[in-house]
Amino acid sequence: MSIQFKTIKDLLTMLKNKDISNKELVKDTYSLIKSNVHLNAFVTLNEEMSLKKAEELDKNKSSGNLAGIPIAQKDLFCTKDLRTTCGSKMLSNFIPPYSATVIENLENAGCISIGKTNMDEFAMGSSNETSFYGNVANPWGSNLVPGGSSGGSAAAVAAGIVSAATGTDTGGSIRQPASLCGITGLKPTYGRISRWGMIAFASSLDQAGPMARTAEDCAIMLNEMCSHDLRDTTSLDEEIPDFTSDLSTSIKGLKIGIVKEFDLSMLDNSVAQVFEESKKHYESLGAEFVEISLPNISLSVPTYYVVAPAECSSNLSRFDGVKFGKRCENPQNLEDLYIRTRSEGFGDEVKRRILIGSYVLSAGFYDAYYKKAQQVRRLIKNDFDNAFKKVDTIMTPTTRGAAFSSGSKGDDPIQMYLEDLFTIPANLAGLPALSIPNGMVDGKPIGLQLIGNFLQESKLLQIAHNFQISSDWHLKTPSGDIN
């Protein structure tokens, strides 16, 4: 029985009914990885340890809610004794002595960490073209980007290699690749999932989340990923609900906000048409649409590209060739060690963002740029607070278009930055948001974004699940022959 394109729920049923053993499931997963090596979705595999854990599960049945499920881990979560590179030459030899809280939680639930997925270097990118380990290909077409930075995770799920993967989202890095690869991806409320052991890009924006075929699988994953963590000072000490409990509850009477300031004419015509069809679908389920105003939403992208680079320049200062990671050969002195280590270890996009961040934090510019950006960020958050007094959720396209060709935007960083136009606001406000497949454009999938109020992941997943049980866009699978 093939395991390709199976959901977590499917695989758990197969294991329970003994249609497949844990070891067979892991072996079949590695066979799929090897037959899809052209995707370049994985940086490091964990085959020996995965097979060993599967054999142990076959002998001693685990009661964990994810027992035996192979999950791909994004390569910026520290994994004990397994290489963690962050898609960078700088960390090409880094083997952590501990695992991130997210990894611990999932493995304590019985999952098998099958390997580490390729990603944009230090999570900086929207196309998975900045990785030191090469570009990731989109399963929907070898010349298409999968989106970024969680492109390897998205590609692995979209190709049916694994039923689920972990991702991280700083400005859209779960939702944008989920949209371009035709899967479901959730960015939870900031602080809902611990960031301990997650290599930082922008500390006030980064958030881990699940990527899977369905909203139901994301809910199953989220149940295990969440925990209050004393090692992370931004971790929320809030009750963690069962995110699967209300999935099938009707959404009749739900109020969905449509943002007045989002000009849908900036979208591809076919994307705008699919968005309108999705509105009609929700209306048929009993939802009501309400126009809302987010007056400062147009400032989201410029605000993000001040805040995120500033925090990145601070976080990445630790990579200096002294304690861990790559070190240049034969440094002449300490200054030479710093300069050559960073010049050789970081790629162009990372260097660009470090330079921008160092500039906006420098004396004389801090108040003009970074402080001002933080003030605008508060205005954006206030706009959302006001909007959620009128609506239960906010609906937007996830991206401006479907997956674009590899190399088509590499010469224009601004166009690449605008790929996150619809996703960035939720990160600035710390709100939960997800992307679900809602249609096809020229044979390529696109996504619909739902933004929720603080800690309202359950409601978002319920709204998404209602859409998915009454449509089949999430069931589409790639043929790989689209260019």
Instruction: Exactly one of 88, 126, 127, 149 is catalytic; name it.
Output: 149
Residues recorded for the chain: 483
DSSP string, 243-284: TTTTTTS--TT-EEEEETT--GGGS-HHHHHHHHHHHHHHHH
Give DSSP secondary structure letters for 26-68: HHHHHHHHHHTGGG--EEEE-HHHHHHHHHHHHHS----TTTT
Q: Which two tokens stand for residue 188?
A: 């939870």
Q: Confirm whether 187 is a catalytic residue.
A: no
Is residue 439 helix, strand or coil?
strand
Catalytic residue among 99, 113, 173, 278: 173
DSSP character at residue 136: P
Cα 113 to the center of its chain, rounded Å: 17
Between CA 427 and CA 77 the distance in angstroms is: 19
Alpha-carbon distance of 247 to 296, in angstroms, equals 33
Asked if residue 195 lies in contact with residue 225, where contact means CB atoms within 8 angstroms, the answer is no
Quote the distance between the C-alpha of residue 131 and its chain's center: 16
CA 347 to each of CA 89, 147, 331: distance values in angstroms, whole numbers, following the listed order: 8, 18, 20
Active-site residue (options: 74, 116, 187, 459): 74
CB 392 within 8 A of CB 292: no
Does 149 qualify as catalytic in the annotation? Answer: yes
Buried b (16+ CB within 10 A) or exposed e, 30-66: bebbeebeebbbbbbbbeeebbebbeebeeeebebbb
Q: Identify the burial level of 7 via C-beta atoms within 10 angstroms of its C-beta, where 0-12 means exposed, 13-18 middle and 19 or more buried.
A: middle
Distance CA 274, CA 174 (A): 21
The two counts, helices (H) then strands (E), for the chain are: 15, 11
CA pair distance 402, 247, nearest whole angstrom: 28
* CA 290, 219, 157, 191 torsion-angle sign: positive
Active site residue 479: no
Catalytic residue positions? 74, 149, 173
